[in-house]
Copies of this chain bind each other. A is one copy, B any other.
């Protein structure tokens, strides 16, 4: 069961309600009216909990789980288990995620208000239903939408615009940015900082004034400890619905499409462009002025130095089609036969 110190559960919900919510089917023995109180992993679930079995690698936990009911599919459900009631669906991971949002709806119903120890500039405007926590600072002429939550010690700079239903995590710094609705930003991020721009000058590199903005579209999700620089001139853009993990660097004038997924510690150098639905593994680097087509998938730790066409799957450094990369790493390993035996 989730820890009540940190999460507020809705429910309980009956097995019949849960089955209906996900369009699934209960096994014959399951009592429709049985109440599920919360969610737990297979190996720590107890009576009253619902769990999920979505991959056969967890078969041993499935066999012995004490969960009252388990979401799974008809194939996995045939495996040995201890009589736990099954809720059968086509995609157990998806169904369990849907049930997760049912039990733990996003906390939109926070107490509204500006904490006495928040610092809101007189010329800032704060939408109804918003909550500003202790130590947060809202700069002059900043505009927040309805029902926003700005956590403690976050700093929202002068003129920044934030749409409705956004959340900004503790200790995050935002400046020079226009942010859409329903954007969720974690803690300790730097958004709108000065990009790393230099031109060769007579006495060595000369800094270029960074005069653009950061545009973050609706429904974007940003993790923690990221750095997203404003444009040098023109804007840095993060497209609608894109999700960014932790410790990611987005340089000036990068343009990221819609519904991209960018995993942790990846970096995109200046002025590169990503199409929609691009997926990047962790620790990927993309050179500056590169164009990545829609739906490109990039293996973790790759270094991308060439434009990449729509739909390609690439890996390695320099990144290449992933099948070629796999052959290359296998070939390199094969050279073992040329070396001395271990």
Q: Show the binding face of A for B, using Cβ within 8 Å.
A: 2-3, 5-7, 39-41, 44, 91, 93-94, 97-98, 100-101, 103-104, 115, 117, 119, 133-135, 137, 141, 151-153, 155, 157-159, 161, 169-173, 175-176, 184, 186-190, 193-194, 196, 198-201, 204-209, 211-213, 221, 223-227, 229, 233-234, 241, 243, 245-247, 249, 251, 259, 261, 263-265, 267, 269, 277, 282-283, 285, 287, 300-301, 303, 317-318, 320-321, 323-324, 327-329, 331-333, 335-336, 338-340, 342
Cross-chain contact B204 with A188 (CB below 8 angstroms):
no
Partner of A285, one of B249, B283, B332: B283
Question: What residues on B are CB-neighbors of A119 within 8 Å?
Answer: 115, 117, 134-135, 152
A221 to chain B, nearest CB (A): 7
Are A94 and B188 also in contact (CB < 8 A) when A155-B171, A267-B265 are? no
Name 19 A/B residue pairs within 8 A (Cβ), A-sorted.
A5-B161, A39-B211, A93-B199, A100-B209, A104-B209, A119-B134, A155-B171, A170-B175, A171-B171, A171-B188, A173-B188, A186-B194, A188-B227, A204-B241, A225-B226, A247-B249, A263-B269, A283-B285, A285-B301
Partner of A209, one of B97, B161, B189, B287: B97
Question: What residues on B are CB-neighbors of A5 within 8 Å?
Answer: 141, 158-159, 161
Chain A's interface: helix, strand, loop or mixed, by majority? loop
Cross-chain contact B264 with A233 (CB below 8 angstroms):
no
